[in-house]
Each structure stands twice: as structure tokens, then as C-alpha cells.
A and B are shown apart, each in its own frame.
Chain A
Amino acid sequence: AQSVTQLGSHVSVSEGALVLLRCNYSSSVPPYLFWYVQYPNQGLQLLLKYTTGATLVKGINGFEAEFKKSETSFHLTKPSAHMSDAAEYFCAVSGMFGNEKLTFGTGTRLTIIP
């Protein structure tokens, strides 16, 4: 069984400030972890993923995330927020053995303050 908890349904940051979106997961098997972004009235777009190997993964639009097994976390960061980063962000987990289904968190809406 897998689950994802995203802390903070709404996060606001000033333009140019650090973006930190939190994700904690629970998984009975080694996890694959994902961050997706959803812009208004659009589908979800993959930002980045962790499968195996390097625990710091880089994605599109300057985002990165670090897999910390001891903390069961996969927080998303970006050093400097841009107005175009305003969107909803979803963390998701899947199992790496025979299970391609994704379990999503409830999402975090990111607002950028000019």
C-alpha cells in the first residue's frame, strides 16, 4: 500500500524567493516518486521523477527534488520563483515491482506574489 502527504494545500512565495513544496510518502516497496505540475484548465505535466540512483533529481523549469529515504520525503524546490511557476503541484508515488499505478497527493497550489 502506498500513500502521499503534501503539507500545505496553498503556498505563497514572493517572486525571486525560494520555493519549497513538501511531500512525504509511505510505501511498502522501494518507491518511484514523481512531481507533476498542472496549469489552469490543463492536464498534468511531469516535472521530475526519482527511480533509482542519484537522490537529487533535476527537472524542467529549474525545479529539483531530493529523495530522502530516512525521512520518507521527496520535497520539491526551486531557488528563485518566477511568476510563471504559479500552478498546482502534485506529488505521486508508485511501486517499482509490478505496480505501475500512481497514488497522488492532494496537491499544493503555489501562488507567486509580485
Chain B
Amino acid sequence: DAGITQSPRHKVTETGTPVTLRCHQTENHRYMYWYRQDPGHGLRLIHYSYGVKDTDKGEVSDGYSVSRSKTEDFLLTLESATSSQTSVYFCAISGGRSSYEQYFGPGTRLTVT
């Protein structure tokens, strides 16, 4: 299994509070991704990173920000959580142009009350 961990694995928070989810990899892969999974929608890309300090938006980026200060860590921040951000969040990594396979972390279940 690819070395990907996510923390926390479960979180309950209140509307309006900031939340940060962490993805940590030990594979030294260049690309990292944040997805959210919702019933009926599959997985949708929030943000991705193609290197340290290099990030870009995905299809559902509103209300989310990311940072990557080290190769191994990719942080997802909800500046002011809303109930519509209740979801399961997955981090994924890939090696880049020569390797299109993405490997997924175990997920973080976030509930915003």
C-alpha cells in the first residue's frame, strides 16, 4: 500500500469554524490531490498540487484553500465550515506524467453541524 495517511480520520465541527485536514505521504510523489465524495456525485476534485508551493483549483474549490510547504504534506483548509461541506474527504498522490495512477488515502469523514 502507498504510504498515505490522513488526519484526523473523523471530525465533527460547527458551522462557521475553520477546519484543516492533513494529508501526509512517504512516497515522495510530486502530485497530490484533495477530493470530496458525496452520494450520487462520485469523487470531485477540490484542489491539487504539482509541487511544493504549486497548487491549482479543481471543479469544486469554492470555500476551500490548500497549502503545500513540503513534498510530503498537503493541507486542506475550510476557512468557515458550512453544512454543505459535510462529506468524506480523500487525499490522493501520483508520480506525475510518467505515472497516471493515483493512490488514495483512507479518507476523513467531516460533519459540519
Q: How many residues in A have their beta carbons less than 8 Å from beta carbons of B? A: 24
Query: Whole-angstrom distance from the CB of A102 to the nearest CB of chain B?
Result: 6
Q: Is there an interface contact between A106 and B97, defined as CB atoms closer than 8 Å?
A: no
Task: Report the minimal beta-carbon distance from B97 to chain A, rounded to whole angstroms.
Answer: 7
A32 to chain B, nearest CB (A): 5
Total A-B pairs, Cβ < 8 A = 53
A101-B58, A104-B42, A107-B42 as given contacts; A44 in contact with B97, CB under 8 Å: no
**Distance (whole angstroms) from the CB of B86 to the closest CB of chain A:** 17
Partner of A43, one of B33, B48, B107: B107
* Residue ID in chain A nearest B40 by CB atoms: A106
| The one of B41, B50, B101, B106 that contacts A46, using a Cβ cutoff of 8 Å | B101
B105 — which chain A residues lie within 8 A by C-beta? Answer: 43
Task: Looking at the assembled complex, report how far the CB atom of A109 sits from the nearest CB atom of chain B, in whole angstroms.
Answer: 10
B104 & A101 in contact (Cβ 8 Å cutoff): no
Q: How far is the CA of A110 from the CA of B31 in the complex (A)?
A: 31
Q: A4 — nearest CB in chain B belongs to which residue?
A: B42
A residues bordering B, Cβ < 8 Å?
9, 32, 34, 36, 41-46, 49, 51, 90, 94, 96, 98, 100-107
**Contacts from B to A (Cβ < 8 Å):** 4, 31, 33, 40-45, 48, 50, 58, 90, 92, 94, 96-97, 100-107
